[in-house]
Structure 1
Amino acid sequence: MKKRSRTLICILTALLAVAMLLMTSCGKGSDSGIDRDNASSGYYGDKASGTEEASPAPGLLDTPDGDGTQKLIRTCTVEAETRDFDAASASLNERISRFDGYVESQKSSGSSYGASKSSRLLTVTVRIPADKFGDFVTGLGDIMNVTSAASNVENVTETYYDAEARLATLKAERESLQKMMASLDNAKQYDFWLTLQKRLSETEQDIASLEARLRSYDNRVAYSTVTLTMREVIEFTPTETPTFAARISKAFTSSWRSFAEFWQDFAVFFVSALPTLCVIAVIAVTVIIIVVASAKKRKNKN
Protein backbone atom coordinates (compact mmCIF):
# COMPACT_ATOMS: atom_id res chain seq x y z
CA MET A 1 0.00 0.00 0.00
CA LYS A 2 2.82 2.41 0.86
CA LYS A 3 4.53 1.58 -2.44
CA ARG A 4 1.38 2.48 -4.38
CA SER A 5 1.07 5.72 -2.43
CA ARG A 6 4.67 6.62 -3.27
CA THR A 7 4.02 5.86 -6.94
CA LEU A 8 0.91 8.08 -6.93
CA ILE A 9 2.82 10.90 -5.24
CA CYS A 10 5.68 10.62 -7.77
CA ILE A 11 3.25 10.76 -10.71
CA LEU A 12 1.42 13.77 -9.30
CA THR A 13 4.73 15.51 -8.55
CA ALA A 14 5.91 14.94 -12.12
CA LEU A 15 2.65 16.32 -13.52
CA LEU A 16 2.91 19.36 -11.24
CA ALA A 17 6.51 19.96 -12.37
CA VAL A 18 5.46 19.83 -16.03
CA ALA A 19 2.67 22.31 -15.32
CA MET A 20 5.07 24.68 -13.51
CA LEU A 21 7.58 24.53 -16.36
CA LEU A 22 4.81 25.31 -18.81
CA MET A 23 3.64 28.28 -16.76
CA THR A 24 7.19 29.60 -16.45
CA SER A 25 7.91 29.39 -20.19
CA CYS A 26 4.60 31.02 -21.07
CA GLY A 27 5.18 33.73 -18.50
CA LYS A 28 8.58 34.53 -20.00
CA GLY A 29 7.11 34.65 -23.48
CA SER A 30 4.39 37.00 -22.27
CA ASP A 31 6.92 39.27 -20.54
CA SER A 32 9.12 39.44 -23.64
CA GLY A 33 6.07 40.27 -25.73
CA ILE A 34 5.19 43.09 -23.34
CA ASP A 35 8.76 44.40 -23.49
CA ARG A 36 8.69 44.40 -27.28
CA ASP A 37 5.36 46.23 -27.30
CA ASN A 38 6.64 48.82 -24.84
CA ALA A 39 9.82 49.32 -26.83
CA SER A 40 8.02 49.68 -30.13
CA SER A 41 5.49 52.15 -28.70
CA GLY A 42 8.13 54.30 -27.05
CA TYR A 43 7.04 53.32 -23.50
CA TYR A 44 10.57 53.67 -22.17
CA GLY A 45 11.12 57.15 -23.58
CA ASP A 46 10.56 59.08 -26.74
CA LYS A 47 13.60 61.37 -27.07
CA ALA A 48 15.19 61.35 -30.48
CA SER A 49 18.96 61.13 -30.62
CA GLY A 50 20.78 64.25 -31.70
CA THR A 51 17.85 66.57 -30.75
CA GLU A 52 17.43 68.74 -27.68
CA GLU A 53 13.82 69.36 -26.61
CA ALA A 54 12.21 72.21 -24.65
CA SER A 55 15.06 74.68 -25.11
CA PRO A 56 18.10 74.73 -27.37
CA ALA A 57 21.24 73.40 -25.73
CA PRO A 58 23.87 76.13 -25.27
CA GLY A 59 26.44 74.16 -27.25
CA LEU A 60 24.20 74.02 -30.29
CA LEU A 61 23.77 77.80 -30.30
CA ASP A 62 27.44 78.69 -29.97
CA THR A 63 29.00 80.65 -32.83
CA PRO A 64 31.14 78.66 -35.30
CA ASP A 65 34.92 78.48 -35.15
CA GLY A 66 36.74 81.56 -36.35
CA ASP A 67 39.05 79.71 -38.76
CA GLY A 68 36.09 78.63 -40.91
CA THR A 69 37.49 75.15 -41.58
CA GLN A 70 34.47 73.42 -40.04
CA LYS A 71 31.42 73.37 -42.27
CA LEU A 72 28.50 73.28 -39.83
CA ILE A 73 24.86 73.62 -40.80
CA ARG A 74 22.78 74.78 -37.84
CA THR A 75 19.00 74.53 -37.72
CA CYS A 76 16.46 75.27 -35.01
CA THR A 77 12.72 74.65 -34.72
CA VAL A 78 10.82 76.88 -32.30
CA GLU A 79 7.19 76.77 -31.15
CA ALA A 80 5.84 79.83 -29.39
CA GLU A 81 2.65 81.65 -28.46
CA THR A 82 1.60 85.25 -28.01
CA ARG A 83 -1.39 87.21 -26.75
CA ASP A 84 -0.63 90.15 -29.06
CA PHE A 85 -0.16 88.61 -32.49
CA ASP A 86 0.35 91.87 -34.39
CA ALA A 87 2.90 93.29 -31.97
CA ALA A 88 4.84 90.01 -31.82
CA SER A 89 4.90 89.76 -35.63
CA ALA A 90 6.21 93.31 -35.93
CA SER A 91 8.86 92.69 -33.28
CA LEU A 92 9.91 89.49 -35.05
CA ASN A 93 10.36 91.30 -38.39
CA GLU A 94 12.36 94.03 -36.66
CA ARG A 95 14.55 91.45 -34.98
CA ILE A 96 15.20 89.63 -38.27
CA SER A 97 16.33 92.89 -39.89
CA ARG A 98 18.50 93.83 -36.91
CA PHE A 99 20.33 90.50 -37.12
CA ASP A 100 20.89 90.88 -40.91
CA GLY A 101 18.66 87.93 -41.66
CA TYR A 102 15.89 87.37 -44.17
CA VAL A 103 12.60 85.48 -44.44
CA GLU A 104 12.88 82.45 -46.70
CA SER A 105 9.22 81.42 -46.50
CA GLN A 106 6.17 82.48 -44.54
CA LYS A 107 2.62 81.25 -44.07
CA SER A 108 -0.17 82.60 -41.88
CA SER A 109 -3.70 81.34 -41.24
CA GLY A 110 -6.71 82.12 -39.10
CA SER A 111 -8.13 85.48 -38.07
CA SER A 112 -8.06 87.62 -34.95
CA TYR A 113 -10.22 86.78 -31.95
CA GLY A 114 -12.30 89.88 -32.64
CA ALA A 115 -13.45 88.49 -35.98
CA SER A 116 -13.58 84.78 -35.26
CA LYS A 117 -13.13 82.22 -32.51
CA SER A 118 -10.16 80.70 -34.34
CA SER A 119 -6.70 81.97 -33.45
CA ARG A 120 -4.06 83.11 -35.88
CA LEU A 121 -1.04 80.97 -36.69
CA LEU A 122 2.24 82.07 -38.23
CA THR A 123 4.80 79.66 -39.66
CA VAL A 124 7.97 81.31 -40.88
CA THR A 125 11.40 80.08 -41.99
CA VAL A 126 14.15 82.59 -41.23
CA ARG A 127 17.78 82.60 -42.36
CA ILE A 128 20.19 84.20 -39.88
CA PRO A 129 23.98 84.69 -40.22
CA ALA A 130 25.68 81.79 -38.45
CA ASP A 131 27.65 84.02 -36.08
CA LYS A 132 24.40 85.63 -34.86
CA PHE A 133 22.29 82.48 -34.77
CA GLY A 134 22.58 81.82 -31.02
CA ASP A 135 21.74 85.38 -29.97
CA PHE A 136 18.76 85.50 -32.32
CA VAL A 137 17.18 82.27 -31.02
CA THR A 138 17.89 83.05 -27.37
CA GLY A 139 16.27 86.47 -27.67
CA LEU A 140 13.00 85.16 -29.12
CA GLY A 141 11.75 84.67 -25.56
CA ASP A 142 11.77 88.46 -25.13
CA ILE A 143 8.99 88.98 -27.69
CA MET A 144 6.93 85.79 -27.34
CA ASN A 145 6.36 82.84 -25.00
CA VAL A 146 8.58 80.01 -26.29
CA THR A 147 6.98 76.67 -25.41
CA SER A 148 9.49 74.36 -27.09
CA ALA A 149 12.65 74.48 -29.18
CA ALA A 150 14.84 71.87 -30.85
CA SER A 151 18.29 72.54 -32.33
CA ASN A 152 20.48 70.45 -34.59
CA VAL A 153 24.00 70.75 -36.02
CA GLU A 154 25.01 68.89 -39.19
CA ASN A 155 28.74 68.63 -39.86
CA VAL A 156 29.30 68.53 -43.64
CA THR A 157 33.02 69.29 -43.50
CA GLU A 158 34.18 66.00 -45.02
CA THR A 159 31.49 66.00 -47.70
CA TYR A 160 32.24 69.62 -48.59
CA TYR A 161 35.99 69.16 -49.05
CA ASP A 162 35.47 65.90 -50.96
CA ALA A 163 33.24 67.78 -53.38
CA GLU A 164 35.84 70.54 -53.67
CA ALA A 165 38.57 68.01 -54.52
CA ARG A 166 36.31 66.30 -57.05
CA LEU A 167 35.54 69.68 -58.63
CA ALA A 168 39.24 70.52 -58.98
CA THR A 169 39.86 67.15 -60.67
CA LEU A 170 36.99 67.68 -63.11
CA LYS A 171 38.21 71.15 -64.00
CA ALA A 172 41.69 69.78 -64.73
CA GLU A 173 40.13 67.08 -66.88
CA ARG A 174 38.08 69.67 -68.75
CA GLU A 175 41.20 71.70 -69.52
CA SER A 176 43.01 68.60 -70.85
CA LEU A 177 40.05 67.65 -73.04
CA GLN A 178 39.85 71.14 -74.47
CA LYS A 179 43.57 71.11 -75.33
CA MET A 180 43.30 67.69 -76.97
CA MET A 181 40.33 68.74 -79.05
CA ALA A 182 42.11 71.91 -80.16
CA SER A 183 45.09 69.89 -81.39
CA LEU A 184 43.05 67.44 -83.45
CA ASP A 185 42.36 67.63 -87.15
CA ASN A 186 38.57 67.37 -87.24
CA ALA A 187 38.51 66.15 -90.82
CA LYS A 188 40.87 63.23 -90.27
CA GLN A 189 40.04 62.34 -86.65
CA TYR A 190 36.37 63.19 -86.50
CA ASP A 191 35.25 60.06 -84.61
CA PHE A 192 37.86 60.57 -81.89
CA TRP A 193 36.89 64.24 -81.73
CA LEU A 194 33.23 63.28 -81.17
CA THR A 195 34.28 60.94 -78.33
CA LEU A 196 36.21 63.77 -76.66
CA GLN A 197 33.28 66.14 -77.18
CA LYS A 198 30.90 63.72 -75.49
CA ARG A 199 33.26 63.30 -72.54
CA LEU A 200 33.72 67.07 -72.30
CA SER A 201 29.95 67.55 -72.18
CA GLU A 202 29.64 65.02 -69.34
CA THR A 203 32.46 66.72 -67.46
CA GLU A 204 30.79 70.12 -67.85
CA GLN A 205 27.56 68.71 -66.39
CA ASP A 206 29.40 67.18 -63.43
CA ILE A 207 31.19 70.47 -62.78
CA ALA A 208 27.93 72.42 -62.85
CA SER A 209 26.31 69.94 -60.44
CA LEU A 210 29.20 70.11 -57.96
CA GLU A 211 29.36 73.90 -58.11
CA ALA A 212 25.62 74.10 -57.36
CA ARG A 213 26.04 71.71 -54.42
CA LEU A 214 28.94 73.71 -53.00
CA ARG A 215 26.97 76.96 -53.34
CA SER A 216 24.11 75.35 -51.44
CA TYR A 217 26.49 74.22 -48.68
CA ASP A 218 28.06 77.69 -48.52
CA ASN A 219 24.64 79.29 -48.12
CA ARG A 220 23.43 76.85 -45.48
CA VAL A 221 26.68 77.16 -43.53
CA ALA A 222 26.80 80.95 -43.71
CA TYR A 223 23.10 81.37 -42.85
CA SER A 224 21.55 79.15 -40.18
CA THR A 225 17.89 78.19 -40.48
CA VAL A 226 15.22 78.94 -37.87
CA THR A 227 11.71 77.55 -38.37
CA LEU A 228 9.27 79.36 -36.09
CA THR A 229 5.62 78.53 -35.40
CA MET A 230 3.81 81.23 -33.44
CA ARG A 231 0.20 80.83 -32.28
CA GLU A 232 -2.17 83.46 -30.94
CA VAL A 233 -3.64 82.52 -27.54
CA ILE A 234 -5.79 84.06 -24.85
CA GLU A 235 -3.70 82.67 -21.99
CA PHE A 236 -0.16 81.30 -22.06
CA THR A 237 0.48 77.59 -21.56
CA PRO A 238 1.24 77.07 -17.84
CA THR A 239 4.73 75.86 -16.99
CA GLU A 240 4.25 75.20 -13.26
CA THR A 241 5.87 72.19 -11.63
CA PRO A 242 3.42 69.45 -10.53
CA THR A 243 2.10 69.74 -6.97
CA PHE A 244 2.43 67.04 -4.32
CA ALA A 245 -1.21 66.04 -4.81
CA ALA A 246 -0.67 65.78 -8.57
CA ARG A 247 2.39 63.57 -8.04
CA ILE A 248 0.41 61.32 -5.66
CA SER A 249 -2.44 61.07 -8.17
CA LYS A 250 -0.04 60.21 -10.99
CA ALA A 251 1.71 57.55 -8.88
CA PHE A 252 -1.64 55.97 -7.88
CA THR A 253 -2.83 55.95 -11.48
CA SER A 254 0.40 54.34 -12.66
CA SER A 255 0.22 51.68 -9.91
CA TRP A 256 -3.40 50.87 -10.72
CA ARG A 257 -2.57 50.60 -14.42
CA SER A 258 0.24 48.15 -13.64
CA PHE A 259 -2.13 46.09 -11.45
CA ALA A 260 -4.72 45.92 -14.22
CA GLU A 261 -2.08 45.00 -16.82
CA PHE A 262 -0.86 42.15 -14.59
CA TRP A 263 -4.30 40.54 -14.45
CA GLN A 264 -4.78 41.07 -18.16
CA ASP A 265 -1.51 39.27 -18.83
CA PHE A 266 -2.52 36.49 -16.43
CA ALA A 267 -5.85 36.05 -18.23
CA VAL A 268 -4.08 35.87 -21.59
CA PHE A 269 -1.64 33.27 -20.21
CA PHE A 270 -4.42 31.20 -18.65
CA VAL A 271 -6.40 31.09 -21.90
CA SER A 272 -3.30 30.20 -23.94
CA ALA A 273 -2.29 27.43 -21.47
CA LEU A 274 -5.84 26.08 -20.96
CA PRO A 275 -5.62 23.27 -23.57
CA THR A 276 -2.39 21.95 -22.06
CA LEU A 277 -3.75 22.24 -18.50
CA CYS A 278 -6.87 20.30 -19.55
CA VAL A 279 -4.75 17.49 -20.98
CA ILE A 280 -2.64 17.35 -17.81
CA ALA A 281 -5.79 17.33 -15.67
CA VAL A 282 -7.30 14.45 -17.68
CA ILE A 283 -4.09 12.43 -17.38
CA ALA A 284 -3.87 13.13 -13.64
CA VAL A 285 -7.50 12.13 -13.04
CA THR A 286 -7.08 8.96 -15.14
CA VAL A 287 -3.98 7.94 -13.21
CA ILE A 288 -5.69 8.59 -9.89
CA ILE A 289 -8.74 6.55 -10.91
CA ILE A 290 -6.59 3.65 -12.08
CA VAL A 291 -4.48 3.66 -8.91
CA VAL A 292 -7.53 3.90 -6.62
CA ALA A 293 -9.38 1.14 -8.52
CA SER A 294 -6.31 -1.09 -8.39
CA ALA A 295 -5.96 -0.48 -4.67
CA LYS A 296 -9.61 -1.35 -4.03
CA LYS A 297 -9.35 -4.48 -6.17
CA ARG A 298 -6.35 -5.75 -4.26
CA LYS A 299 -7.97 -4.87 -0.96
CA ASN A 300 -11.10 -6.88 -1.88
CA LYS A 301 -8.96 -9.86 -2.84
CA ASN A 302 -7.19 -9.70 0.50
Structure 2
Amino acid sequence: MEWKNILVVFALLLLFAGCIGSEEIFPKSSGSTGSYYQGAAAPSSGEASYDSSYGGENRMVIQTGSLSLKVPQGTLEEKVAAVKGFVAEVRGTYTGISYYETDTDKSYYITVKVPPSKFDEFVTDLKGIGEIKSIDTSLEDVTEQYTDLNTRISNLEIELGRLNSLYNRTENISDILSIEREVTRVQTELEMYKQQKLNLERRSAMSTISVRVYEEKPAVDTNLVLPLSQLLQVFLGALSFGIMLLAGGLGFFLPILIVIWLIWRVWKAIKGN
Protein backbone atom coordinates (compact mmCIF):
# COMPACT_ATOMS: atom_id res chain seq x y z
CA MET A 1 0.00 0.00 0.00
CA GLU A 2 2.85 2.32 0.81
CA TRP A 3 4.46 1.66 -2.59
CA LYS A 4 1.20 2.48 -4.33
CA ASN A 5 1.01 5.86 -2.57
CA ILE A 6 4.59 6.63 -3.60
CA LEU A 7 3.82 5.80 -7.26
CA VAL A 8 0.71 8.04 -7.26
CA VAL A 9 2.67 10.99 -5.84
CA PHE A 10 5.44 10.43 -8.41
CA ALA A 11 2.91 10.42 -11.29
CA LEU A 12 1.35 13.67 -10.06
CA LEU A 13 4.78 15.32 -9.94
CA LEU A 14 5.51 14.24 -13.52
CA LEU A 15 2.16 15.64 -14.73
CA PHE A 16 2.79 18.97 -13.00
CA ALA A 17 6.30 19.22 -14.47
CA GLY A 18 4.91 18.51 -17.96
CA CYS A 19 2.40 21.37 -17.70
CA ILE A 20 5.15 23.79 -16.66
CA GLY A 21 7.40 22.65 -19.52
CA SER A 22 4.66 23.10 -22.11
CA GLU A 23 4.19 26.73 -21.05
CA GLU A 24 7.92 27.37 -21.39
CA ILE A 25 8.15 25.80 -24.86
CA PHE A 26 4.92 27.32 -26.22
CA PRO A 27 4.46 30.62 -24.38
CA LYS A 28 1.09 32.27 -24.49
CA SER A 29 0.52 35.31 -26.68
CA SER A 30 1.09 38.60 -24.92
CA GLY A 31 -1.38 40.45 -27.10
CA SER A 32 0.99 41.19 -29.99
CA THR A 33 -0.70 41.82 -33.36
CA GLY A 34 2.30 40.66 -35.46
CA SER A 35 1.69 38.07 -38.18
CA TYR A 36 3.15 34.55 -38.12
CA TYR A 37 4.56 33.22 -41.42
CA GLN A 38 4.97 29.46 -41.52
CA GLY A 39 8.05 28.29 -43.36
CA ALA A 40 9.13 31.81 -44.50
CA ALA A 41 10.29 35.04 -43.00
CA ALA A 42 7.83 37.93 -42.86
CA PRO A 43 8.17 40.22 -45.88
CA SER A 44 9.97 43.48 -45.32
CA SER A 45 8.21 46.80 -45.78
CA GLY A 46 10.50 47.59 -48.72
CA GLU A 47 9.16 44.88 -51.08
CA ALA A 48 7.70 45.94 -54.40
CA SER A 49 3.98 46.40 -54.75
CA TYR A 50 2.70 44.71 -57.91
CA ASP A 51 -0.36 45.60 -59.93
CA SER A 52 -2.86 42.77 -59.50
CA SER A 53 -5.31 43.99 -62.16
CA TYR A 54 -4.20 41.21 -64.50
CA GLY A 55 -2.58 37.84 -64.05
CA GLY A 56 -3.66 37.25 -60.45
CA GLU A 57 -2.54 38.61 -57.10
CA ASN A 58 0.99 39.95 -56.69
CA ARG A 59 1.85 39.73 -60.39
CA MET A 60 3.59 42.39 -62.49
CA VAL A 61 2.09 42.44 -65.98
CA ILE A 62 2.86 44.60 -69.02
CA GLN A 63 -0.14 45.11 -71.33
CA THR A 64 0.18 46.27 -74.93
CA GLY A 65 -2.24 46.46 -77.84
CA SER A 66 -2.90 47.71 -81.36
CA LEU A 67 -6.17 48.88 -82.90
CA SER A 68 -7.36 49.94 -86.37
CA LEU A 69 -10.34 52.32 -86.51
CA LYS A 70 -12.18 53.26 -89.72
CA VAL A 71 -14.14 56.55 -89.66
CA PRO A 72 -16.57 58.05 -92.20
CA GLN A 73 -15.20 60.04 -95.13
CA GLY A 74 -14.49 63.69 -94.39
CA THR A 75 -14.40 63.22 -90.57
CA LEU A 76 -10.78 62.17 -90.02
CA GLU A 77 -9.58 65.33 -88.28
CA GLU A 78 -12.70 65.46 -86.11
CA LYS A 79 -12.32 61.82 -85.02
CA VAL A 80 -8.62 62.22 -84.22
CA ALA A 81 -9.52 65.14 -81.94
CA ALA A 82 -12.09 62.88 -80.26
CA VAL A 83 -9.42 60.20 -79.68
CA LYS A 84 -7.23 62.78 -77.97
CA GLY A 85 -10.18 63.73 -75.78
CA PHE A 86 -10.71 60.09 -74.76
CA VAL A 87 -7.03 59.84 -73.80
CA ALA A 88 -7.41 62.82 -71.49
CA GLU A 89 -10.59 61.36 -69.93
CA VAL A 90 -8.81 58.16 -68.84
CA ARG A 91 -5.79 60.18 -67.62
CA GLY A 92 -3.52 58.82 -70.31
CA THR A 93 -1.00 60.40 -72.67
CA TYR A 94 -0.10 60.05 -76.33
CA THR A 95 3.62 59.77 -77.00
CA GLY A 96 3.62 59.93 -80.80
CA ILE A 97 1.39 60.88 -83.73
CA SER A 98 2.06 60.66 -87.48
CA TYR A 99 0.08 61.15 -90.69
CA TYR A 100 0.19 59.10 -93.90
CA GLU A 101 -1.74 59.34 -97.16
CA THR A 102 -1.98 56.80 -99.97
CA ASP A 103 -4.00 56.51 -103.16
CA THR A 104 -6.85 54.83 -101.27
CA ASP A 105 -6.91 56.31 -97.75
CA LYS A 106 -5.66 58.89 -95.23
CA SER A 107 -4.41 57.69 -91.83
CA TYR A 108 -3.22 58.93 -88.44
CA TYR A 109 -1.07 56.65 -86.27
CA ILE A 110 -1.25 57.52 -82.58
CA THR A 111 0.75 55.86 -79.78
CA VAL A 112 -1.27 56.05 -76.55
CA LYS A 113 -0.46 55.18 -72.92
CA VAL A 114 -3.38 54.58 -70.54
CA PRO A 115 -3.69 53.05 -67.05
CA PRO A 116 -4.28 49.25 -67.30
CA SER A 117 -7.56 49.58 -65.43
CA LYS A 118 -8.80 52.03 -68.11
CA PHE A 119 -7.76 49.95 -71.13
CA ASP A 120 -11.21 48.43 -71.79
CA GLU A 121 -12.95 51.77 -71.17
CA PHE A 122 -10.71 53.46 -73.73
CA VAL A 123 -11.43 50.79 -76.36
CA THR A 124 -15.18 51.09 -75.71
CA ASP A 125 -14.97 54.86 -76.26
CA LEU A 126 -13.27 54.31 -79.62
CA LYS A 127 -16.08 52.02 -80.76
CA GLY A 128 -18.46 54.96 -80.49
CA ILE A 129 -16.70 57.10 -83.14
CA GLY A 130 -15.98 54.55 -85.86
CA GLU A 131 -15.75 50.95 -86.93
CA ILE A 132 -13.02 48.85 -85.34
CA LYS A 133 -11.46 46.78 -88.13
CA SER A 134 -8.86 44.98 -86.02
CA ILE A 135 -7.70 44.80 -82.42
CA ASP A 136 -4.87 42.89 -80.78
CA THR A 137 -3.80 42.81 -77.13
CA SER A 138 -1.04 40.97 -75.28
CA LEU A 139 -0.09 40.48 -71.62
CA GLU A 140 3.52 39.88 -70.57
CA ASP A 141 4.11 38.61 -67.03
CA VAL A 142 7.44 40.03 -65.82
CA THR A 143 7.06 39.14 -62.14
CA GLU A 144 9.99 36.73 -62.08
CA GLN A 145 12.20 39.17 -63.96
CA TYR A 146 11.28 41.96 -61.55
CA THR A 147 11.91 39.76 -58.51
CA ASP A 148 15.27 38.69 -59.91
CA LEU A 149 16.27 42.33 -60.41
CA ASN A 150 15.33 43.13 -56.82
CA THR A 151 17.50 40.25 -55.59
CA ARG A 152 20.45 41.33 -57.71
CA ILE A 153 20.12 44.93 -56.56
CA SER A 154 19.97 43.89 -52.91
CA ASN A 155 23.04 41.65 -53.24
CA LEU A 156 25.03 44.33 -55.03
CA GLU A 157 24.14 46.93 -52.40
CA ILE A 158 25.37 44.56 -49.68
CA GLU A 159 28.56 43.91 -51.65
CA LEU A 160 29.08 47.64 -52.17
CA GLY A 161 28.71 48.28 -48.45
CA ARG A 162 31.30 45.62 -47.67
CA LEU A 163 33.72 47.06 -50.22
CA ASN A 164 33.34 50.55 -48.76
CA SER A 165 33.96 49.20 -45.28
CA LEU A 166 37.03 47.32 -46.48
CA TYR A 167 38.26 50.42 -48.31
CA ASN A 168 38.10 52.48 -45.11
CA ARG A 169 40.21 49.88 -43.23
CA THR A 170 42.81 49.28 -45.93
CA GLU A 171 46.09 51.22 -46.07
CA ASN A 172 47.92 49.25 -48.75
CA ILE A 173 47.96 51.19 -52.05
CA SER A 174 47.66 48.07 -54.20
CA ASP A 175 44.66 46.85 -52.20
CA ILE A 176 43.05 50.29 -52.37
CA LEU A 177 43.32 50.36 -56.17
CA SER A 178 41.91 46.85 -56.42
CA ILE A 179 38.97 47.76 -54.18
CA GLU A 180 38.29 50.89 -56.22
CA ARG A 181 38.05 48.80 -59.40
CA GLU A 182 35.59 46.46 -57.71
CA VAL A 183 33.55 49.40 -56.43
CA THR A 184 33.32 50.81 -59.97
CA ARG A 185 32.22 47.46 -61.34
CA VAL A 186 29.56 46.96 -58.65
CA GLN A 187 28.23 50.52 -59.04
CA THR A 188 27.96 50.07 -62.82
CA GLU A 189 26.01 46.83 -62.48
CA LEU A 190 23.86 48.32 -59.74
CA GLU A 191 22.86 51.30 -61.89
CA MET A 192 22.11 49.02 -64.83
CA TYR A 193 19.81 46.79 -62.80
CA LYS A 194 18.08 49.77 -61.21
CA GLN A 195 17.40 51.21 -64.66
CA GLN A 196 15.95 47.88 -65.84
CA LYS A 197 13.75 47.76 -62.75
CA LEU A 198 12.54 51.31 -63.34
CA ASN A 199 11.77 50.46 -66.95
CA LEU A 200 9.62 47.49 -65.92
CA GLU A 201 7.77 49.62 -63.38
CA ARG A 202 7.02 52.29 -65.99
CA ARG A 203 5.88 49.79 -68.63
CA SER A 204 3.59 47.97 -66.20
CA ALA A 205 2.16 51.20 -64.78
CA MET A 206 0.75 52.28 -68.17
CA SER A 207 -0.60 50.14 -71.03
CA THR A 208 0.63 51.07 -74.52
CA ILE A 209 -1.84 51.08 -77.43
CA SER A 210 -1.02 51.82 -81.08
CA VAL A 211 -4.13 53.31 -82.70
CA ARG A 212 -4.60 53.75 -86.44
CA VAL A 213 -7.45 56.09 -87.38
CA TYR A 214 -8.18 56.22 -91.12
CA GLU A 215 -10.75 57.19 -93.72
CA GLU A 216 -11.06 55.94 -97.28
CA LYS A 217 -10.78 58.33 -100.21
CA PRO A 218 -13.71 58.67 -102.67
CA ALA A 219 -13.56 56.03 -105.39
CA VAL A 220 -12.38 57.22 -108.84
CA ASP A 221 -13.62 55.56 -112.07
CA THR A 222 -10.32 54.53 -113.58
CA ASN A 223 -12.02 53.59 -116.85
CA LEU A 224 -12.47 57.29 -117.63
CA VAL A 225 -8.86 58.20 -117.01
CA LEU A 226 -6.11 56.96 -119.28
CA PRO A 227 -2.58 56.65 -117.98
CA LEU A 228 0.05 58.90 -119.52
CA SER A 229 1.71 56.01 -121.34
CA GLN A 230 -1.55 55.07 -123.01
CA LEU A 231 -2.15 58.70 -124.03
CA LEU A 232 1.32 58.83 -125.60
CA GLN A 233 0.64 55.65 -127.52
CA VAL A 234 -2.65 57.03 -128.87
CA PHE A 235 -0.93 60.28 -129.94
CA LEU A 236 1.91 58.50 -131.71
CA GLY A 237 -0.54 56.19 -133.42
CA ALA A 238 -2.62 59.12 -134.70
CA LEU A 239 0.51 60.95 -135.89
CA SER A 240 1.73 57.89 -137.74
CA PHE A 241 -1.67 57.43 -139.37
CA GLY A 242 -1.68 61.10 -140.48
CA ILE A 243 1.77 60.82 -142.03
CA MET A 244 0.75 57.65 -143.86
CA LEU A 245 -2.44 59.34 -145.10
CA LEU A 246 -0.49 62.38 -146.33
CA ALA A 247 2.08 60.22 -148.08
CA GLY A 248 -0.64 58.16 -149.71
CA GLY A 249 -2.49 61.27 -150.88
CA LEU A 250 0.64 62.80 -152.40
CA GLY A 251 1.42 59.56 -154.21
CA PHE A 252 -2.03 59.54 -155.76
CA PHE A 253 -2.53 63.23 -156.58
CA LEU A 254 1.04 64.27 -157.45
CA PRO A 255 1.18 62.57 -160.89
CA ILE A 256 -2.20 64.03 -161.77
CA LEU A 257 -1.04 67.51 -160.79
CA ILE A 258 2.12 67.12 -162.86
CA VAL A 259 0.10 66.09 -165.96
CA ILE A 260 -2.28 69.01 -165.49
CA TRP A 261 0.67 71.39 -165.09
CA LEU A 262 2.31 70.10 -168.29
CA ILE A 263 -0.94 70.40 -170.26
CA TRP A 264 -1.36 73.95 -168.98
CA ARG A 265 2.18 74.87 -170.07
CA VAL A 266 1.68 73.36 -173.54
CA TRP A 267 -1.66 75.14 -173.98
CA LYS A 268 -0.11 78.43 -172.90
CA ALA A 269 2.77 78.02 -175.39
CA ILE A 270 0.43 77.22 -178.29
CA LYS A 271 -1.79 80.15 -177.41
CA GLY A 272 1.22 82.48 -177.35
CA ASN A 273 2.30 81.45 -180.89
Q: Same fold (TM over 0.5)?
A: yes
2:127 matched to which residue of 1? 141
Residue 109 of structure 1, CA deviation: 2.0
Which whole-Å CA distance do the structure 2 matches of 1:128 and 1:153 have between them? Answer: 15
Q: What is the CA deviation profile of residues 139-175 of structure 1, one whole-angstrom value per residue up to 9, with x for unaligned ones?
A: 2111221101011100001111011111110011111
Residue 65 of structure 1, CA deviation: 6.8
Residue 64 of structure 1, CA deviation: 3.1
Of 64, 73, 85, 2:62 maps to 73
2:92 maps to amino acid: G
Which whole-Å CA distance do the structure 1 matches of 2:178 and 2:53 have between them? Answer: 50
CA-atom RMSD in angstroms: 2.0
Q: Number of matched residues?
A: 165
1:64 matched to which residue of 2? 54
Runs of 4+ more than 4 Å apart: none
2:100 maps to amino acid: S
2:212 maps to amino acid: T
1:192 maps to amino acid: D
Contact kept in structure 1, 2:106 and 2:217, CA below 8 Å: no
Residue 233 of structure 1, CA deviation: 1.9
1:162 matched to 2:135? The reply is no
In the TM superposition, what are the counterparts of 1:88-237 in structure 2 within 5 Å? 88-110=79-101, 119-185=105-171, 189-233=172-216
Q: Determine which structure has more spread, i.e. the larger CA radius of gyration.
A: 2
Task: Kindly indicate which of the two structures has a greater share of residues assigned to helix.
Answer: 1
Q: What is the CA deviation profile of residues 203-236 of structure 1, one whole-angstrom value per residue up to 9, with x for unaligned ones?
A: 101111111101110011010010111211258x
Q: What is the CA deviation profile of residues 56-84 of structure 1, one whole-angstrom value per residue up to 9, with x for unaligned ones?
A: xxxxxx943795x2100011111111121
Q: What is the CA deviation profile of residues 170-190 of structure 1, one whole-angstrom value per residue up to 9, with x for unaligned ones?
A: 0111111111111112xxx11
Which whole-Å CA distance do the structure 2 matches of 1:137 and 1:173 have between them? Answer: 48
Q: Percent identity?
A: 19
Q: Normalising to structure 2: TM-score of the pair?
A: 0.57
User: Alignment partner of 1:124: what SS?
Assistant: strand
Which whole-Å CA distance do the structure 2 matches of 1:90 and 1:210 have between them? Answer: 40
1:88 maps to amino acid: K
Which whole-Å CA distance do the structure 2 matches of 1:197 and 1:124 have between them? Answer: 48
2:138 maps to amino acid: N
Unaligned runs of 5+ in 1: 1-61, 112-116, 236-302
Which whole-Å CA distance do the structure 2 matches of 1:231 and 1:216 have between them? Answer: 32
Which whole-Å CA distance do the structure 2 matches of 1:202 and 1:108 have between them? Answer: 46
Which whole-Å CA distance do the structure 2 matches of 1:206 and 1:105 have between them? Answer: 32
Q: What is the CA deviation profile of residues 78-101 of structure 1, one whole-angstrom value per residue up to 9, with x for unaligned ones?
A: 111112101110100000011111
Q: What is the CA deviation profile of residues 247-297 of structure 1, one whole-angstrom value per residue up to 9, with x for unaligned ones?
A: xxxxxxxxxxxxxxxxxxxxxxxxxxxxxxxxxxxxxxxxxxxxxxxxxxx
Which whole-Å CA distance do the structure 1 matches of 2:137 and 2:104 have between them? Answer: 30
